[in-house]
Structure 1
Amino acid sequence: MIPVGLIGWAVVLGLLLFIVVQAVQILMEYERGVVFRLGRFSSVKGPGLRLIIPFVDRLVKISLRTVAMDVPPQDVITKDNVSVKVNAVLYFRVLSPEKALIEVENYLYATSQLAQTSLRSVLGQSDLDDLLSHRDRINQELQNILDRQTDPWGVKVSNVEIKHVDLPAEMQRAMARQAEAERERRSKVIHAEGEYQASQKLSEAAEVMSHQPTALQLRFLQTLTEVATEKNSTIIFPVPIDLIQPFLDSRKKGISSSD
């Protein structure tokens, strides 16, 4: 039989071991421990080995790392009455552990719900074009709203990013037609600008040639050279009398001198 005294000592040692285990708390570098003494807030303890009073103190660990929370897709009707489905990602962290426990029941759930409602509210006041082309401005507006509303909870919202905008099929087809029409318009404008610039250069060239007959003759000879390279057709060009006039004059002078 085990002596009664030995059993008593074993019970005492077990109780002391249980008290020591409850009294010793180890906090990681990214954690803070919020201590409640008899139900009242006492202090916030930093990382390392920490001691509390068992059955009197209660320590709750809070992580200070940045949380990346995915905001579920939300059905949103934009300002111009277009129904879209939008999801986003939210980045935030706890700055005041005691506020995150005392001021709100579950800061993770509360922040998620607040992000969903704010996303629908802000996007409902924006046009579809703004949603597609000015995401940075909308992201900044969402971040300011969430940061202002989560500040009493000791939570800092550092960034909000809209990830994906799901458009209806008919809206996608309409945007594709619009993009095609825009590309066609730009093509016609560029072609018209090219024609206008070419006409200006031709006008300047004609002005130069009108004052320099020799330039016109050189251009005529160059055209003849370019056409002569094509052997699949026969082209007859009238030769200007100005080109052969010097030869005729020299011949006349030769005949006159022989007489």
Structure 2
Amino acid sequence: MPGIGFLGAILLALFVIVPAVIKVLREYERAVIFTLGRVGRKAAGPGLVILIPIIQTMRKVDMRTFVHDVPTQDVISRDNVSVKVNAVIYYRVVDSVRAVVQVENYMAATSQLAQTTLRSVLGKHDLDEMLQERDKLNKDIQEILDSQTEAWGIKVANVEIKHVDVDTSMIRAIAKQAEAERERRAKIILAEGEFQAAAKLSEAAEVLATSPGAMQLRYLNSLQEIAGDQTNTIVFPFSINEIVDRMRS
């Protein structure tokens, strides 16, 4: 019986100590090991990691890409339009040691930085730019976040603005602006068409003026087109002088 008790104590000690000493890390995990409070230059893992009890402690870091929804932010654009904007960011840890040592909570820090950067960048642009140049704004936000999180061992891979919500009154104003813009473009296109037609008519008049035969052919061609419709009446113009000369003769 005493032997069984001693064996049980050993098994209990192994059951408690082994999980604290032997760690198995998955392929996407790394371990930042502290030895008497000091951290090594490189992280351990993946695979089997053995710790010295009491002397060493470990903190696991996930190296996969995180997808984080940036909460809806109230933004005032450069042209004083109030909008609500939300986005999504994709980031991952590239240096697990810095992610643990340089910042208390890299996930919360990246989230807060993304919110302030989103408001700051979009506040420098007009509403039209927010709606039409999202790719450029996404790139600007991504570059700013990436440069600021580099010291934490974080790589921001991508930023996507998902929604830009505008107040209903502003939607009506934008619709009126778009309608006015379409009318302006239509008038410009019509004016350009008239200008081009006038230029071609001027060139044709110069050609006909220098070639009487061409004028006659054009005249006969017009008569042929008119004669194709039986409802039309063809009128042959005569000069008054010619009529007077014929009457005298």
TM-score, length basis structure 2: 0.86
Describe the superposition over 1:100-144 as per-residue Cα deviations: whole angstroms up to 9, x where unpaired.
Answer: 222222111111011112211222232223323333443333223
Which of 25, 29, 32 is equivalent to 2:30? Answer: 32
For the pair 1:161 / 2:182, whether they are aligned, the reply is: no
CA RMSD of aligned residues (A): 2.1
Q: Which moved more, 1:125-134 or 1:113-122?
A: 125-134
SS in 1 for 2:43: strand
Deviates more, 1:169-178 or 1:146-155: 146-155
Partners of 1:121 and 1:236 in 2: CA distance: 74
Deviations 1:152-208 (A, max 9, x none): 322222332222211111222222222222221221211222222212222222222
Q: Say whether residues 1:23 and 2:17 are aligned partners.
A: no
**187-196 vs 33-42, which moves further:** 33-42
The number of residue pairs the alignment matches comes to: 238
Query: Aligned AA for 1:160?
Result: V
The unaligned stretches of length 5 or more in structure 1 are: 242-259
Structure 1 segment 1-259 matched on structure 2, within 5 A: 3-42=1-40, 44-231=43-230, 233-238=231-236
Residue 61 of structure 1 aligns to a residue whose secondary structure is strand
CA contact (8 A) 2:34 2:58 kept: yes
Match for 2:25: what amino acid?
L
Query: What is the Cα deviation at residue 234 of structure 1?
Result: 4.1
Q: Secondary structure at the match of 1:99?
A: helix
Query: Relative to structure 1, is the Cα distance of residues 74 and 28 closer, same or farther in structure 2, using a 3 angstrom cutoff?
Result: same
The higher radius of gyration belongs to 1
Return the offset for 1:64: 1.3
C-alpha deviation, 1:73, in angstroms: 0.9
Give the gaps of 5 or more residues in structure 2.
240-249
Identity across the alignment (%): 53
Give the partner amino acid of 1:44. Answer: A
Task: Provide the rounded CA distance (Å) in 1 between the counterparts of 2:151 and 2:198.
Answer: 69
Q: What's 1:256 paired with? A: none
Which residue of the partner structure matches residue 244 of structure 1? none
Partners of 2:185 and 2:195 in 1: how far apart? 15
Could you tell me which amino acid in structure 1 is paired with residue 65 of structure 2? T
